Amino acid sequence: MKCVFGLGIDLGTTYSVVAAIDAAGVPRVLDNRDGESLTPSVVYFDGEKPIIGSAAVVAGGVTPQNCIELVKRHIGDTSWKHCTISGTQYTAEQISAILLRRLADDAALALGQPCSEVVITVPAYFDDARRRATADAGIIAGLDVLSVLNEPTAAALAYGFGRGATSSHVPATVLVYDWGGGTFDATVVRIHDDEYTVLATAGDRNLGGFDIDNAVMLHVDSCVVAQGGPSSLDSDVAELLLRGRCEQAKRALSSVPETLITVDCGAVSYPVHLARPTFANLTAPLLRRTEEIVAEVIIDAGVQAGDLSVALLVGGSTRAPMVSRMLQRVTGVPVRQDVHPEQAVALGAALVAASASAARRGVVSREYKAAPFAGQHITNRLVVHDVTAHSLGLIARCSQTGAEINSVLIRRNTPLPAQGRQRFHTLAENQREILVVITQGEDPDPRYITIVGSARMPVPPSEESVEVEVLIGYDEQGLIGVRVADPHTGVPLGEFSIDRQANVDVQEIERMRQSLQTLNTRK
């Protein structure tokens, strides 16, 4: 297969997928070097040598302390580090970069040529720090990151391409229900020709298949203990084995009504039967949480459930029959898996990568015909309108009470790019600077929002209170910039991009990249 332009990478919590546009213009998933379409997002350190994917899963079953899973849940968190047995520490960005480098190398093997231009997907509910950290991981891996794309938007692109929505000229309003290994997102997208407009998005970055596995594990472990066996949760190795068996049982219940989980403890085996009704009861709180988010996003999108054209299932956790039943009940529209639930995100990202790469090269008129889908094409005219996943504001002090409040300047689900501005006054005479603290979140109480960055800005000293105007902007990728100006003259007092307090700086990126190159040399 020959790659036309760019790679789409779904950097998942539990599995990652890579796709590219073939010579016929069709997005295709690329198998890794092991012949698998899904690469486990797992890194195992054999000394200082990283092992990635299925081999890492096998090795981790022996020495789990050398194995890193679910790193996506930690990306953007400077307090999280993995320390190898030899004492080397790795950040979540470095681990993610190791994964990305392996994914790109495997793609090069499948394509017969290297391709460094990539679009990497993230959960729609990722905040600024996590989006930036994901892009940083791509840079550390030596990749040219064209953009960071929301996963539900990517899935909608794959659906629109595959179903002919872009050629029918009939708008479709799609609910994307994206329940993956570590995160959940619900997004309403309107598709019309080559234009994809996100109306609203909501989600939970700590709600995924991992949490389903936890619920099943606790149940199975309690059943084993009730039979007189030991708890598997007291041993890292035993817990890892139990998690693997519970994940297999979860997948089996997608096609059979009951399955058997056998827990081996020395010479004794403890059987636990797991039926769909029990599984549904165990995971009901998690499913209910996704239902609440779906109801919220439909309201935020300004549509009625009956206005939807289809509910699209994305992510491995959607294979459970209870998900389809719930969505059918809530929306009353067809629930579809037209695109492979674990491949849709990467396929959509490949479409954006092709469009962005074509635009970069000035390719305007050429169309890449997609034989299986009559009339489908990919051009750099592909347009995606996204929205803000979080409200954006700053910390101010109330003039009446003196209490600090979160002053929201851009509301959640505002179309991107977005700007918000507001005027404020200094607190004291002859005040020479102000502290601008940028927040994400809707609650007026600063205790319940996220501080994403801050900077000190000079103000002209005056015997009276000075008025300043703060302008905050989200760009097309949801990244944040801030400007402070004199509201009367328009003279800027200062501007900054968000202080990357949850990420690494440019020098650190270069150091990490050199470290990754050293690891690659050792392989």
Better-scored residue on pLDDT, 86 or 227 = 227
Place of tokens 């689900």: 413
Query: How high is the pLDDT of residue 517?
Result: 59
Confidence band (pLDDT; 50, 70, 90) for 390? confident
Q: According to the per-residue pLDDT averaged within each range, which of 25-39, 231-245, 378-392 is highest?
A: 25-39
Place of tokens 């929306």: 331
Better-scored residue on pLDDT, 500 or 394 = 394
Query: How high is the pLDDT of residue 163?
Result: 63
Query: How high is the pLDDT of residue 16?
Result: 96
Query: How high is the pLDDT of residue 478?
Result: 59
C-beta separation of 345 from 121 below 8 A: yes
Quick one: which H or E segment has residue 504?
none
- Compute the distance between CA of residue 180 and CA of residue 184 in angstroms, rounded to an integer: 6
Query: How high is the pLDDT of residue 143?
Result: 94
Which of 68-77, 215-224, 443-452, 473-482 is least confident? Answer: 473-482
Express each pLDDT in 416-457 by its tens digit.
888 999 999 888 878 888 889 999 888 999 998 888 888 888
Which of 18-22, 42-46, 123-127 is least confident? Answer: 123-127
Confidence band (pLDDT; 50, 70, 90) for 189? very high
C-beta separation of 147 from 360 below 8 A: no
Res. 327: pLDDT tops 90: yes
**Is residue 521 packed enough to be buried (19+ CB in 10 Å), middle (13-18) or exposed (0-12)?**
exposed
Res. 518: pLDDT tops 80: no
Q: Which of 406, 348, 412, 20 is nearest to 199 (CA)?
A: 412
- Within 10 Å of residue 488's Cβ, how many Cβ atoms? 8
CATH class for the region spanning 392-497: mainly beta
Query: How high is the pLDDT of residue 151?
Result: 93
Q: Name the CATH topology of 209-281.
A: Actin; Chain A, domain 4 (3.90.640)
Residue spans per domain, the chain:
7-206+293-385, 209-281, 392-497
Confidence band (pLDDT; 50, 70, 90) for 145? very high
DSSP string covering 185-229, please?
A: EEEEEEEETTEEEEEEEEEETT-SHHHHHHHHHHHHHHHHHHTTP
Better-scored residue on pLDDT, 425 or 380 = 425
- Within 10 Å of residue 377's Cβ, how many Cβ atoms? 17
Arithmetic mean of pLDDT, 128-147: 90
Which of 166-175, 185-194, 202-211 is least confident? Answer: 166-175
Confidence band (pLDDT; 50, 70, 90) for 503? very low
How much is the mean pLDDT over the chain? 85
Res. 17: pLDDT tops 80: yes
Which of 24-28, 83-87, 132-136, 230-234 is least confident? Answer: 83-87
- Compute the distance between CA of residue 318 and CA of residue 324 in angstroms, rounded to an integer: 8
- Compute the distance between CA of residue 72 and CA of residue 473 in angstroms, rounded to an integer: 26
Res. 369: pLDDT tops 50: no
Arithmetic mean of pLDDT, 76-82: 89
Query: How high is the pLDDT of residue 160?
Result: 86
Better-scored residue on pLDDT, 161 or 421 = 421
Query: How high is the pLDDT of residue 308?
Result: 93
Q: Which residues contact 510 (CB under 8 A, 6 or more apart)?
A: none
Res. 169: pLDDT tops 70: no
Express each pLDDT in 207-255 by its tens digit.
999 999 999 999 999 999 999 999 999 888 889 889 989 999 999 998 8
Query: How high is the pLDDT of residue 166?
Result: 44
Res. 87: pLDDT tops 50: yes
Express each pLDDT in 304-319 by its tens digit.
877 899 999 999 899 8
Res. 380: pLDDT tops 70: no
Res. 362: pLDDT tops 60: yes
Q: According to the per-residue pLDDT averaged within each range, which of 21-30, 113-122, 363-372 is highest?
A: 113-122
Confidence band (pLDDT; 50, 70, 90) for 377? very low
Query: How high is the pLDDT of residue 301?
Result: 94
Task: Label the pairing between strands 418-425 and 383-385.
Answer: unpaired
Question: CA angle, corner 77, sides to 207 and 79, nearest 5?
Answer: 120
The whole-model pTM stands at 0.84
Please check whether the domain covering 7-206+293-385 is classified as CATH 3.40.50.2300: no
Confidence band (pLDDT; 50, 70, 90) for 460? confident
Res. 352: pLDDT tops 70: yes
Which of 113-122, 292-301, 409-418, 514-523 is least confident? Answer: 514-523
Res. 283: pLDDT tops 60: yes
Res. 373: pLDDT tops 50: no
Res. 507: pLDDT tops 60: no
Res. 479: pLDDT tops 70: no
